[in-house]
Structure 1
Amino acid sequence: MFAEERQAEIARLVGATRRVSGADLARRFAVTMETIRRDLAALESEGVLRRVHGGAVSLARTDSVEQSLDTRETLKTPAKRRIAAAALEYLEFMEATSVALDAGSTVETLADALASRQANPADQQLLVMTHALHVAGRLADQPEILLELVGGRVRTLTWAASGVFTAEQYSRYRCDIAFLGCNGVAAGFGFSTPELPEAAVKTAIVNSARKVVVLCDAEKHDHENFARFATFAQVDVLITDAAPAGRLARALEDGGVEVIVA
């Protein structure tokens, strides 16, 4: 097969599946990884795809572009609801009294589940800290929850505070558990998000918590974004909807991350 034919087929595969693995492509076309890297570089230069660690993704993906609040509202998929339900179960099992909730659609889905749960009146009130207005709005009228709103400059796109001031406020706390969302998790890089101000806040949350739990659907496995906010060694639990595979699975195991598949 000529290079042009192979690249055309790779472009078709990326368009159909939104993501391709370099190793899978090498096996499929019986060529070396170096040949596949050249093919992907050529297709990237033509604006067909974007190279990521281990392969390439369609430019239709939004890994490096944040989504607006209204857009994310439509992304509360059954998978994210399962992840949120497992996160709530983990929270209740740990009997935590203080929790930090990050921004993001999966964490917001957890806030929905938290607001809908049948709390025991005899239970101690749960202190919830968050910098996300949409998460706070889900919990503000819940009598069994003490809500601590972490301030800062709110971004219109995300309805969440971000930047150094917000991160500094989190550094004053020590909560039992933090639940964070992410835009990507990849071996060799860790947990990441597109923007530095959000990464700074997430890192501060990670450093403030006794237990760190990341909620991440399988579409984000093996993806790298611009800014890392946590290494594998800094995360205690990953709750996802499909078991990680390959290098990512090994990296999570080596980092001591417990994986819960919802």
Structure 2
Amino acid sequence: MFAEERHRLIGGLVTSKGRVTVAELSGRFEITRETVRRDLAQLEQVGVLRRVHGGAVAAGKASTSEESLSARTSRRHAEKERIAAKALGLLPVGEASVVLDAGTTTELLAGLMADQLPRERAAELLVITHAVPIAYRISSAAAFQLEVIGGRVRGLTSAAIGNRTVVQLEALRPDIAFVGANGVDASFGLSTPDPLEAAVKSTIVRCARRVVVLADSTKLDQEALVRFAGLDEVDTLVTDRQPEAGLAAALEAADVEVVLA
């Protein structure tokens, strides 16, 4: 196979999978790892990908890159809907306090709660959120008790951030929290690109009695800039695909239940 054809195929793999490893490419194309590294270096120079430790990620996968809420809403919508539907079944029985973190999948969960829960069931739940779209969605179903956590709203995610938000969350001990993440990695744990968002997420994880992470499979084996929790701080991961061997082993070692949607 000519190098040009191999480069085209590598570019396609990075685009479709989000991340490739040197070992994976070496075995797939039956070339040495040194040849793979040269290929990746050439592809990085023309902007096709970005090299990281052990492999490469898509060019737009910088640790600080983050799409707007509106851009993320339509991406992998079907998978996120399935994840939200599974999460709905994890709500505690009876009266309970529920934190909904900011994010497109947690917003879908809020919509299912508003649309599908009977009025009597909804009345048993106190929903706590710092996300404006989620607060609006829950408030449209009058039966819920709703507590909105305030602070400065970040336009990119429509979520309150900052010290005031963190202090309000620190004073709570909710029964369950549904949390989003930009990355779920075996060694780095859960991460997100923005430090202020990370501080809020970290506080949610620490204060909740049970933590459920909602993350579609594009977030698995990924790292964003700021780590906000270790895998051992999570009780359940709801995703749409079985994690790869390394992450699966780390989740099992951390006693994280994996629920497939």
TM-score (norm 1): 0.89
Structure 1 regions of 5+ residues with no counterpart? none
Equivalent residue for 1:28? 28
Matches within 5 A, 1:186-197: 186-197=185-196
Structure 2 distance, partners of 1:207, 1:27, is 42
Distance 1:235 1:69, change over 3 A: same
Output the aligned Cα RMSD. 2.4
User: Which ranges of 4 or more aligned residues in structure 1 deviate by more than 6 Å?
Assistant: 1-5
Structure 2 distance, partners of 1:9, 1:75, is 24
Matches within 5 A, 1:1-262: 6-7=6-7, 9-15=9-15, 17-33=17-33, 35-52=35-52, 54-60=54-60, 64-75=64-75, 77-92=77-92, 94-95=93-94, 97-119=96-118, 121=120, 125-262=124-261
Instruction: Give the 3-state SS of the residue equivalent to 2:224 in structure 1.
Output: coil
Instruction: Give the 3-state SS of the residue equivalent to 2:172 in structure 1.
Output: coil
Worse-matched range after superposition: 29-38 or 236-245: 29-38
Deviation at 1:214, TM superposition (A): 0.2
Distance 1:124 1:18, change over 3 A: closer
Instruction: Give the 3-state SS of the residue equivalent to 1:127 in structure 2.
Output: strand
**What is the aligned residue count?**
261
Structure 2 distance, partners of 1:207, 1:122, is 27
Say if 1:53 and 1:223, in contact at 8 Å, map to a contact too: no
Distance 1:180 1:203, change over 3 A: same
Structure 2 regions of 5+ residues with no counterpart? none
Structure 2 distance, partners of 1:73, 1:194, is 18
TM-score (norm 2): 0.90
Worse-matched range after superposition: 245-254 or 163-172: 163-172
Instruction: Give the 3-state SS of the residue equivalent to 2:118 in structure 1.
Output: coil
Q: What is the letter of the counterpart of residue 257 of structure 1?
A: V
Identity of aligned residues (%): 50
